[in-house]
């Protein structure tokens, strides 16, 4: 989409979905050599966050291709956040991967993006694509979070509100409260991974903060146990939080990306 090493000020857009579910997905793609980098952000975050920009800057410095995008209802993409589900955001991810990526890719997924990366790995085996996986770098990955980290931890009152009203506004220390919908919880059950072995067909490096209040380190350990024993590295950062956006955290993430090729 661009050959420039300058900041990508304006995104390109691709159309995903049909009819009432059609939406425009904002994409920033930097041309460069392989393996390219493919960024999958977290729940209620966008492609202009600290880690995403650091990845793009590293790609520029090293002449690597890099693709970032916003899920529907996030950032500069169309659609409403309240309409989002894991399946809908997976559809966005697969569409961007297939349209914007060529050759081997290191997929970097943060929080919900870690779940998306694992689901993407499964989806792209179902149909031929011009891009393939060189490796996964998962930052505080949150597979199955709608069930394991949300629904199972909600009080009876919150569950009742979601079931009766279809939505609950969850307070956030990162900004305004955001909606947790019944559709998000129920549709998420179609994509649960931690109940069985997970085959991704490429090396995986997980980086997890031991002080993460949103995705406990035990969750990362459970994921590691579901992945093949070979080619899986789990780095536990003792004083790390959920964001893992400090300079030393960014350095670890970029080192993990560099090790993938």
- In a domain? residue 204: yes
Q: What is the pLDDT of residues 230-241, one digit of tens each?
A: 899 999 999 999
Judged against a pLDDT cut of 50, whether residue 65 lies above it is answered with yes
| Cβ partners under 8 Å of residue 104, min gap 6 | 34, 35, 36, 131, 132, 133, 134, 261
- In a domain? residue 4: no
Residues in the chain: 261
Average pLDDT over residues 170-183: 90
Average pLDDT over residues 179-205: 97
Judged against a pLDDT cut of 70, whether residue 117 lies above it is answered with yes
Alpha carbon distance 148, 42 (integer Å): 16
pLDDT band at residue 6 under the 50/70/90 scheme: very low
- In a domain? residue 172: no
Judged against a pLDDT cut of 50, whether residue 94 lies above it is answered with yes
- In a domain? residue 173: no
pTM listed for this prediction: 0.95
- In a domain? residue 171: no
Judged against a pLDDT cut of 90, whether residue 157 lies above it is answered with yes
CA 64 to chain CA centroid, nearest Å: 20
Average pLDDT over residues 111-135: 94
- In a domain? residue 139: yes
Range of the domain at 90: 12-143+193-259
- In a domain? residue 7: no
Q: Residues 6-25, buried b or exposed e (16+ Cβ, 10 A)?
A: eebeebbebebbeeeeebbb
Over pLDDT 70: what percentage of the chain? 97
For the chain, how many structural domains are there in total? 1
Average pLDDT over residues 37-52: 97
pLDDT band at residue 8 under the 50/70/90 scheme: low
Return the CATH number at 127.
3.40.50.1820
- In a domain? residue 182: no
The answer to whether residues 118 and 193 touch, using CB atoms and an 8 Å cutoff, is yes
pLDDT at residue 7, rounded to an integer = 55
């Amino acid at each position: 989409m661009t050959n420039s090493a300058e900041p990508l000020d304006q995104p390109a857009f691709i159309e995903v979905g049909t009819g009432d579910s059609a939406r425009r997905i904002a994409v920033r793609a930097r041309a460069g050599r392989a393996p390219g980098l493919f960024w999958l952000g977290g729940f209620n975050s966008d492609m202009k966050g600290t880690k995403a920009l650091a990845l793009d800057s590293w790609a520029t410095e090293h002449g690597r291709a890099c693709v970032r995008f916003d899920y529907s209802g996030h950032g500069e993409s169309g659609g409403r956040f309240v309409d989002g589900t894991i399946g809908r955001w997976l559809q966005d991810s697969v569409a961007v991967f297939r349209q914007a990526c060529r050759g081997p890719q290191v997929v970097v997924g943060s929080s919900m993006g870690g779940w998306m990366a694992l689901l993407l790995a499964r989806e792209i085996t179902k149909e031929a694509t011009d891009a393939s996986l060189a490796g996964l770098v998962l930052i505080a990955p949150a597979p199955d979070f709608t069930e394991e980290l949300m629904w199972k931890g909600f009080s009876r009152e919150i569950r009742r509100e979601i079931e009766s009203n279809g939505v609950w506004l969850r307070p956030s220390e990162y900004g305004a409260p955001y909606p947790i919908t019944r559709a998000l919880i129920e549709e998420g059950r179609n994509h649960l991974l931690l109940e069985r072995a997970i085959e991704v067909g490429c090396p995986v490096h997980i980086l997890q903060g031991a002080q993460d209040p949103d995705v406990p380190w035990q969750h990362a350990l459970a994921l590691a146990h579901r992945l093949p024993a070979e080619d899986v590295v789990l780095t536990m950062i003792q004083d790390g939080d959920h964001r893992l956006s400090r300079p030393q955290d960014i350095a670890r993430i970029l080192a993990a990306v560099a090790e993938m090729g």
